[in-house]
A and B are shown apart, each in its own frame.
Chain A
Amino acid sequence: MSEPILQINNLCMNFGGIKALDDLNLDVEQGEIVALIGPNGAGKTTFFNCVTGIYNPTHGDVMLSPPGKPSIRLNGLKPNHVAEKGMARTFQNIRLFQSMTVLENVMIGRHCRTSAFILGAILRDRATMQEEKQILQKSYEILQKMGLEKHMNELAGNLSYGEQRRLEIARALATEPFLLLLDEPAAGMNPQETQDLEAMINLLQQEGQSILLIEHDMKLVMNLSDRIFVMDYGKQIASGSPQEVRDNPAVIKAYLGDDSYA
């Protein structure tokens, strides 16, 4: 088996005396959908923030191995460099650029793959115009893939909730990540929207996109994931295939409490 594209070893994150993450190990293989689940407050979003550079982990390693390139240790890198290295994320509480248009939101995602700067902006030389055209084209294609191209000139804040979630994914995809991190993409969606989302994530996987997913919707997680990691109180309590995790007593205990475990 090839080297995992994301390898996390003994990751710890302390906030003062609180151990939000305690000795966490996780890995994602190329082309896989891996889910991270756990009860509320288990530290899943903290984990995402550590991996994407928003927090600097107390200790442990976050190793990223882009396909065909040497692996990099991500600890302490700024979020923008993490995005440049090829890992993009969405947010649990939607963080779109509300007063920009839908298309512009996606165009922002192209930022780290393009280079025009002050002089290019003022002079609008051929290279800059070419780049702008490519940004527009690529962004439009991504919107099309996510089924949002009809709304391209609307303000992002005016989209419906489910569309905003999809736009977040579109924006993350625009950075051309080889690993996409989705933080509760189905939160607040109705069953129909969740179903559409499932189809969309499946489609992304067929295109070879590796995905790391945090989700509470168990049906979605069980249907999509190749492997599942379960955590509680910052510790990893189980991992394995959906079937293994479903039958794991520790997981049932964490979710349902002691008494129901019988």
Chain B
Amino acid sequence: MNSFKETKRSALVSLWFMFLTFPVMVMKVDAIEKTVTWRWENMAFIGIGSFILSLFGRAFFERQKSRRQRQIEQNIEKRNLIQIIISHNKYLYPLAIAFFLFALLFPHLFSTYQINVMTTALMYVVLGLGLNIVVGVAGLLDLGFVAFYAVGAYSYALLNLHFGLGFWAVLPIGAILAAMFGVLLGFPVLRLRGDYLAIVTLAFGEIIRLVLENWNEFSQGPSGVSNIPRPGLFGIDLTLDQAITYLYYLMIIMVLVTIFVVNRLQNSRLGRAWVALREDEIACQAMGIDKTKTKLTAFALGATWAGMVGVIFAAKTTFINPASFTFLESAIILAIVVLGGMGSIVGVIIGAFILILLPEYLRALSDYRMLAFGAIMVSMMVFRPQGIISNVRRRYHYDPEKERSE
């Protein structure tokens, strides 16, 4: 009975697919000769193919469901390999040291091109970790994150152009400016949540980009700012290769600092308040948490990282224009956070590497890149909506006996 029902469902699915793909797979219109070729055999392939896939899919889901049932019955907590590694220091530390050594040796093992790609990926790690504070931890869906990135990049480009300020002077200025813009965005959206918040932040991102594009006197418009100096190293003249390697190490330090700070923030009084705000705003306020202050700090601290990476981005490419700060950029950063796992630092790092490095190394298949991108996102949402690594709440240990004896 059950299997008959399943077969019927699969047949329906295959019918639906045949109908959907009909215009693309069956009809072939030759506009020059004005003929239409009907390729009915394709329809048969699609029908049979989707029928079999759907059957397999159903069987797979059924198996998984029964397995999960068993796990619940036997009271086993489901954790994947990476989570086990993260939660045990004896696995985590050697692995982290190995990664760190590899990262240090990386420029000596690979070509300049590879170093450049890796630097970009590291920049997205920091951007992802910044957005993670806003979206993953505090639960404020921000679709205009790229605006802060642009603020950072343009503050370096313009301060350098007009006042000749160097990279190291602008790095903190860019961070502070971005944080201020974060607060600026935060104020009008204090009352908004979810979809409404997303729309306003999206508009905010577009406003910043359009201003940069159209206010020629201020930002030189679409032609952008060029000849931005690379970061200096105690006044030593660096060759191009050296400068790239230098930037790579700079990014490594930046990533380490970000991980350190974000981790501490998440495990603090403020971090708990962010999570509580995400969970239930009314209860949160009733427990004495200042909603305004907590939301604004989340926006500001998220934006800070984008501002700093923006400065580094301007220094890396030596040329910026508004085209680098489109909505697609925001979408990619958001995808990194969602794919990696909201609120999980390791997840976001892995997500950034997957989403930035994979397209780089799959250039041969670049025609299908967006297709693969979409397929990955859709299947992630279906199979692992919590991301590659779901955030595990911190466990506290408290031993009253020990406390008393101290």
Contacts from A to B (Cβ < 8 Å): 52, 54, 78-80, 82-84, 88-89, 91, 95-101, 103-104, 107-109, 111-114, 116-118, 120-122, 124, 128, 131-132, 135-137, 140, 144, 152-153, 155, 171-172, 174-175
B366 nearest CB across to chain A (Å): 39
> Is B383 an interface position by the 8 A CB rule?
no
Please determine whether B403 and A97 come into contact, CB atoms closer than 8 angstroms.
Answer: no
Question: Which of A101, A103, A121, A155 is within 8 Å of B271, CB to CB?
Answer: A121
Chain A residue nearest in CB terms to B397 = A153
- The 9 A-B residue pairs whose C-beta atoms are closest, nearest first, are A112-B288, A121-B268, A83-B288, A95-B283, A97-B279, A79-B285, A153-B395, A140-B398, A108-B276
A88 to B289, CA, bound (A): 12
11 chain-A/chain-B pairs, Cβ below 8 angstroms: A79-B282, A83-B285, A95-B283, A99-B275, A100-B272, A104-B275, A117-B297, A118-B301, A121-B264, A121-B271, A122-B261
A97, A99, A117, A155 interface centre (most CB from chain B within 10 Å): A97
Min CB gap B394→A, angstroms:
8
Q: Which of B269, B283, B396 is in CB contact (< 8 Å) with A121?
A: B269
Q: How many A-B residue pairs have CB under 8 A?
A: 129
Q: Which of A103, A118, A120, A175 contacts B287 (CB 8 A)?
A: A175
- Asked if A80 and B393 make an inter-chain contact with CB atoms under 8 angstroms apart, the answer reads no
Chain A proximity of B65: nearest CB distance (Å): 20
Known A117-B270, A121-B271, A136-B398; contact A79-B286, beta-carbon cutoff 8 A = yes
Asked if A118 meets B286 with Cβ closer than 8 Å, knowing A97-B275, A99-B393, A103-B396, the reply is: no
Which residue of the partner chain, among A89, A91, A144, A153, contacts B396 with CB atoms under 8 Å? A153
Provide the bound-state CA to CA distance between A114 and B269, in Å: 8
Shortest CB-to-CB span from A80 to chain B, Å, is: 5
Check if B290 is an interface residue, CB within 8 A of chain A.
yes
Other-chain contact of B289, A103, A112, A118 (Cβ < 8 Å): A112
For A131, the chain B residues whose CB sits under 8 A away are 269
Q: Please tell me if B273 contacts chain A, counting CB pairs below 8 Å.
A: yes
B270 in contact with A54 (CB, 8 Å): no
Contact B287 A111 (CB under 8 A): yes
Majority secondary structure, B binding face: helix
- Shortest Cβ distance from A143 into chain B, in angstroms? 9
Q: For the complex, what is the distance from the CA of A184 to the CA of B188, rounded to whole Å?
A: 36
**Cα distance, A174 to B394, chains bound together (Å):** 20
Select the residue from A52, A80, A132 with max chain B CB neighbours within 10 A: A80
B residues with a Cβ closer than 8 A to A are 261, 264-265, 268-273, 275-276, 279-280, 282-291, 297, 301, 393-396, 398, 400, 403
Q: From A123, which residue of chain B is reached at the shortest CB distance?
A: B264
- Give complex CA distance A99, B290 in Å: 20
Is A80 a contact partner of B297 (Cβ separation < 8 A)?
Answer: no
Q: A95-B280, A107-B272 are in contact. Are A83 and B398 (CB under 8 A)?
A: no
Which residues from A are CB-within-8-Å of B268?
116, 120-121, 128, 132
- B287–A100 touching, CB < 8 Å: no
Known: A96-B283, A108-B284, A111-B288. A132 touches B393 (CB 8 A): no
A128 proximity list for chain B (CB < 8 A): 268
**Considering the chains assembled together, what is the distance between the CA atoms of A136 and B396 in angstroms?**
8
**Cross-interface CB contact of A111 among B269, B297, B400, cutoff 8 Å:** B269
**B269 contacts A109, CB within 8 Å?**
no
In the complex, A233→B285 CA distance in Å? 28
Partner of A132, one of B269, B282, B297, B400: B269
A103 CA to B395 CA in the complex, in Å? 9
Measured between beta carbons, the chain B residues less than 8 angstroms from A111 are 269, 272-273, 276, 287-289
Residues in B neighbouring A99, C-beta threshold 8 A: 275, 279, 393
- Give the shortest distance, in Å, between B58 (CB) and chain A (any CB): 30
Contacts A91-B283, A95-B283 known; A80 to B288 CB distance under 8 Å? Answer: yes
* Docked pose: A128 CA to B272 CA in angstroms: 14
* A80 adjacent to B290 (CB under 8 Å): yes
Bound CA–CA A213/B297 (angstroms): 36
CB-CB under 8 A for A84 and B275, given A96-B283, A155-B393 = no
Query: How far, in angstroms, from A80 to B269 measured CA to CA in the complex?
Result: 16
* A113, B288: Cα distance in complex, Å: 9
B-side contacts of A89, CB under 8 Å: 286
Q: Which residue of A lies closest to B261 (CB)?
A: A122
CA distance A118 to B273 in the complex (A): 12
Whole-angstrom distance between the Cβ of B376 and the nearest chain A Cβ: 25
**B283: chain A residues within 8 A (beta carbon):** 91, 95-97
Chain A residues contacting B279 (CB-CB under 8 Å) are 96-100
A120 CA / B267 CA spacing, docked (Å): 11
Q: When A97-B276, A97-B280, A121-B270 are in contact, do A83 and B264 touch as well, CB less than 8 Å?
A: no
* Nearest CB of chain A from residue B220's CB, rounded to whole Å: 35
Contacts of B403 in A (CB 8 A): 137
**Is B288's CB under 8 angstroms from A84's CB?**
yes
| Contacts known (A97-B275, A99-B279); A152 close to B287, Cβ less than 8 A | no
A113 to B269, CA, bound (A): 11
